[in-house]
């Protein structure tokens, strides 16, 4: 939503003249500061050249242009490369009706995900992407987690391991909860005592 909003601003017409006064670059830098995440943003023209970016790279060809073109051809607005998720949207000129002048791309480092994790005693959370074996987060030290059957929940001697597949853009990944049995069962014990 943020990318679509930014791409819809009249300021994006500066793409046509290669962001002459660098307003787009300033906008992208402010948005990166606002989000306070490990991201980079790029405004690309239709020839895959960087017109403005948070990395201060300009006039270079976007390094992941081939993956971007493949995603566009597939009809999706994202792609993965190593540990990064790339989200993008078209930039349409408000001066020339429906003319695509480029793309706004956000490179989102998946190591940002632990910011959204549960921080509670007796519970650990791991984000797992089987396609590239990427594991983000931590499990309990005394229990090496085997993730061959990452889509199956199971109970070990000390832990409950619960898995949930992401929806949407991250649907190739899983959230894996590892909960100490003592923590999981304490609620049940309290409930039974109450009854």
15-29, 128-142, 161-175, range with the lowest pLDDT: 128-142
pLDDT at 68: 95
H helix or E strand, kind and range, residue 101: strand 100-109
Residue 49: phi and psi, rounded to 5, are: -90, 145
pTM of the model: 0.75
CA distance linking residue 185 with residue 146, whole number of Å: 23
Q: What percent of the chain has a predicted confidence (pLDDT) above 70?
A: 90
Q: What percent of the chain has a predicted confidence (pLDDT) above 90?
A: 26
Tokens of 167: 């929806």
Beta bridge partners of 170: none
pLDDT, tens digit, 9 for 90 and up, residues 137-170: 777 665 555 555 556 777 777 888 888 888 888 8
Q: How many residues does the structure list for the chain? A: 195
CA distance linking residue 5 with residue 140, whole number of Å: 41
CA distance linking residue 162 with residue 128, whole number of Å: 12
CA distance linking residue 176 with residue 161, whole number of Å: 7
- Answer yes or no: is pLDDT of 29 > 70: yes
Non-local (6+) Cβ contacts of 54 within 8 A are: 25, 28, 29, 32, 39, 40, 41, 42
Residue 189 is given by DSSP the state H
- Answer yes or no: is pLDDT of 72 > 90: yes
pLDDT band at 119 (very low <50, low <70, confident <90, very high): low
């Amino acid at each position: 939503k943020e990318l679509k909003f930014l791409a819809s601003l009249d300021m994006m017409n500066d793409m046509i003249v290669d962001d002459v006064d660098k307003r787009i670059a300033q906008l992208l830098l402010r948005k990166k500061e606002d989000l306070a995440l490990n991201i980079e943003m790029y405004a690309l023209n239709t020839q895959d050249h960087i017109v403005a970016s948070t990395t201060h790279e300009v006039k270079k060809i976007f390094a992941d242009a081939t993956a971007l073109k493949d995603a566009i051809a597939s009809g999706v607005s994202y792609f993965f490369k190593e540990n990064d998720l790339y989200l993008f949207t078209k930039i349409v000129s408000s001066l020339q009706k429906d003319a695509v002048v480029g793309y706004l791309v956000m490179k989102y480092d998946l190591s940002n995900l632990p910011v959204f994790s549960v921080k509670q005693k007796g519970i650990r959370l791991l984000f797992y992407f089987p396609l590239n074996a990427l594991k983000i987060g931590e499990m309990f030290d005394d229990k090496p987690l085997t993730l061959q059957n990452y889509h199956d929940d199971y109970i070990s001697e000390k832990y409950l391991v619960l898995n949930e597949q992401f929806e949407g853009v991250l649907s190739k990944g899983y959230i894996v909860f590892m909960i100490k049995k003592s923590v999981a069962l304490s609620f049940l014990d309290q409930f039974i005592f109450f009854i």
